[in-house]
Amino acid sequence: MLRAGQVGLRARDEADIAVLHTELYEDIATYTIADSRPWRPIPADSSASPYAIGEPRDDPPRFSVVELAGGELAGAALLWAIDSHNRSAHLGLSLRPSFRGRGLGTDVVLALCEYGFAVRGLHRLQVDTLASNAAMISAAVRAGFAQEGTLRGADWVNGEFVDEVILGLLASDWARLRGAQ
């Protein structure tokens, strides 16, 4: 298990699927913030569920997030669009409603950075999020990401085009930040 602060990232268990699907996927308002694909009705027991366990693959590695204090399932996290030539990837996370607002997001970002930089040897990690997603932007900035730009009107969300913010972190920045701790 990868650990950072109050959280750990582990392989997904069968028992996680229904909880994550119900609390994260079926919450359409939150789903549309976290994923650029349109929501569609998918049963929790379908192999098409974003939380289904498939054969292990390099892209995207999907994790269940646990709060270390009690070992309770707190959410889901992943690296996606891993580019092995340019050694880059994007990261994403979603916390269950009862775990939001407790500072866990930054710890999840830090754990994903540890996985991306130390385990996978990546050069760059990127966060793409809606400009209105203050929690994700804040978590990424606290973890050391720099805001690199805004893509105006880039995402279609709930009937309107909204801005997307891009944040990035390089392995050299990560090493420098880790050395300062």
Domain that holds residue 18: 2-179
Query: Is residue 78 within 8 Å of 53, Cβ to Cβ?
Result: no
Q: What is the CATH number of the domain that holds 60?
A: 3.40.630.30
Whole-prediction pTM: 0.94
Per-residue pLDDT of the chain (181 residues; tens, 9 = 90+): 999 999 999 999 999 999 999 999 999 888 887 887 888 999 999 988 989 988 776 668 899 999 999 999 999 999 999 999 999 999 999 999 999 999 999 999 999 999 999 999 999 999 999 999 999 999 999 999 999 999 999 999 888 999 999 999 999 999 999 886 6
The domain tally of the chain equals: 1
Count helices and strands in the chain by DSSP H and E runs: 5, 8
129-146 burial code (b ≥16 CB/10 A, e <16) = bbeebebbbebbeebbbe
